[in-house]
Structure 1
């Protein structure tokens, strides 16, 4: 099992950003393939974002992307709540402004750090 060292934490962050940055059709295909719901995209980012400041302190990613990471977190927070349930449907990925904003920000971070936002979406194992 891989330790929770910097490279593991960095991989989790960039994999969550890859999913967030993907176009809506790719996101829906990824969700369907793994049998998970739309909020899994936000949950993966949330878990990775919790380590972002530590990673920035370690130099990966650069501190310049921290504001964009915080903004993604804020956008997802704005989308939460019982009255926002329709924003978490798969259809919302292609029409909701919050998803569009989060996607743009994730792409900005990936381009700033890796020079490219189109990354392979990660494989996940779902324990049921």
Structure 2
């Protein structure tokens, strides 16, 4: 399988970070609009992060950004470790410390890369 080009990987990463960085109310509205579960936000980040590792290898991401991305990955993975479903509710987006930490880090990465964390939320196509 051919590796997607860097611009595609970068766009995917920015879109996933945009979702993570959004206020909880915006995240809930986006989830409702597309009829997807809360974990979709984390799954999108996981997919983008795995693809972004090639950007790291190519030197396109700074060490500080890479460290923040890895920390987001650890936080989101840790939310799944204990089998607790609580972090994956829509209410948890505004109350859970893990979501708050991931949001803060995502905002920092977006500011570092784009100068601003608030971006339009991505549009997706859901295949059922």
TM-score by length of 2: 0.93
Aligned to 1:93: 93
Aligned to 1:63: 63
Cα distance, 1:82 vs. partner? 5.6
Aligned to 2:103: 103
Query: 1:87·1:96 contact (CA, 8 Å) conserved in 2?
Result: yes
The Cα offsets for residues 15-48 of structure 1, whole Å up to 9 and x where unpaired, read as 0000000000000001000110000000000001
TM-score by length of 1: 0.93
The Cα offsets for residues 77-115 of structure 1, whole Å up to 9 and x where unpaired, read as 110046420110000000000000000000010011111
Q: Please give the secondary structure, in 2, of the residue aligned with 1:118.
A: coil
**Length, aligned pairs only:** 126
Q: Please give the secondary structure, in 1, of the residue aligned with 2:85.
A: helix
**Aligned partners of 2:111 and 2:59: how far apart in 1?**
16
Query: 1:6·1:58 contact (CA, 8 Å) conserved in 2?
Result: no
RMSD: 1.4
